[in-house]
Structure 1
Amino acid sequence: MVKRKKKHHTLVVAGSISFSIIFLFVALIYVWLNLGKYSVYYAQHLPHKIGTNPVLVAVFNNYDSLYIPKFNFDTNSAPFGQYEIFYHMSTLHGRWISVSDRENKELEYTLGNGQDSMYSLDVLKPKQGKPDTYNFLGNGILSSVIYYDSPNSKGRIEHSDKEDIEDSDKILSTMYGNIVSHRQVPKINLQWLYNLLNERKFN
């Protein structure tokens, strides 16, 4: 009788532990998916220092999880008015998002992993040869810009100023403004957790 009780008790404890582990595992997966899918919403409501750009970081790091209006999975693209957005992934060079003018294919914006900075925004204009490059730190602060005055120029590096910040903001808005304007609101709001994980980075 005592052995049966002990065996039953052992089974109950083992079952409880197994259930707890499975529940914790499922909960962690849900939290991870939630923070990615609604990252733009959370980034918009994240307290941050002026000059930082939580939305830029959220869009770039969670692009695979975000809702993209009119996204075509066959062509891996979506039309954004005058522009067409494409997403590319490379194990060698990291990831990047490219947007090109649908009529003038020579005008192209590319946001990707930078070398000296965390993110780089390349702006290739018609007949320019090499793209101007806006370099961002890991918190989205614009740190420097490389300008090419002609196809054969070596490029001049400048520290960012107010005009550069305004220009880069306009380009970024062109690239993913439609994603931001159509961002979804989480049914289970984990803003507190998103803030806890990211607030220090942007302050």
Structure 2
Amino acid sequence: MVLSLVVLFNGWVNLGKYSVYYAQHLPHKIGTNPVLVAVFNNYDSLYIPKFNFDTNSAPFGQYEIFYHMSTLHGRWISVSDRENKELEYTLGNGQDSIYSLDVLKPKQGKPGTYNFLGNGILSSVIYYDSPNSKGRIEHSDKEDIEDSDKILSTMYGNIVSHRQVPKINLQWLYNLLNERKFN
């Protein structure tokens, strides 16, 4: 009985800690983003290079990335420019979609919100004409997908590039649990 609990607990920890590795090797339909889902759902158990536990942040190039892990207020990742301290991007739980990427002060393109479904598919984009406008909803196209991929790479590229390889590979179990979601 105790041995079964230990095995189950270690399997659960393994799937969370190495979820980025498993997500990268998960067979999935084009347009879905298992890495986005793995990073967002498991960043409290992933290795984050140069993570500062006092500020819940990590430097990444010109950016400071903050990881908010509040159980009461939800989870979100925010990215600020280290030089001028302005908030540029946030990724959190959206209202109509599962994930919502807010682009506040983009270096290129227009400010807006990218909405993703639970399997990481970009479902819609809302562009803001001015900071106080409600914006207009547009369906996503190839350019929107490329823009969102660049921004997401800024947000979690450091985690993905430093992902750890599991000592005990449970890829088969990860695939069994997640394959339906991404196909």
> What TM-score do you get using the length of structure 2 for normalisation?
0.90
- Matches of residues 1-150 of structure 1 in structure 2 within 5 Å? 32-125=12-105, 132-150=112-130
Q: Is the 8 A contact 1:129 1:150 kept in 2?
A: no
Q: Is the 8 A contact 1:130 1:151 kept in 2?
A: no
Q: Is the 8 A contact 1:106 1:126 kept in 2?
A: no
Say which structure is richer in helix: 1
Separation of aligned partners in 2, 1:191 and 1:21:
20
**Offset, 1:93:** 3.8
Cα deviation 1:53-104 (Å, max 9, x = unaligned): 0000000000000000001111111100111111113444421011111113
Q: Is the 8 A contact 1:129 1:151 kept in 2?
A: no
Separation of aligned partners in 2, 1:129 and 1:152:
18
In the superposition, relative to structure 1, how do residues 202 and 24 fare at CA in structure 2: closer, same or farther (>3 Å)? closer
Cα deviation 1:91-129 (Å, max 9, x = unaligned): 444210111111133341111001100000001117999
Count of residues in correspondence between the two structures? 179
Greater CA drift, 137-146 or 100-109: 100-109
In the superposition, relative to structure 1, how do residues 98 and 201 fare at CA in structure 2: closer, same or farther (>3 Å)? same
In the superposition, relative to structure 1, how do residues 73 and 155 fare at CA in structure 2: closer, same or farther (>3 Å)? same
Q: Is the 8 A contact 2:114 2:125 kept in 1?
A: yes
* Runs of at least 5 residues in structure 1 that lack an aligned partner in the other structure: 1-18, 26-31
Bigger Rg, which one: 1
Separation of aligned partners in 2, 1:74 and 1:187:
30
Cα deviation 1:21-46 (Å, max 9, x = unaligned): 66666xxxxxx000000000000000
In the superposition, relative to structure 1, how do residues 162 and 74 fare at CA in structure 2: closer, same or farther (>3 Å)? same
* Runs of at least 5 residues in structure 2 that lack an aligned partner in the other structure: none
Greater CA drift, 88-97 or 156-165: 88-97
What percentage of aligned pairs have identical amino acids? 96
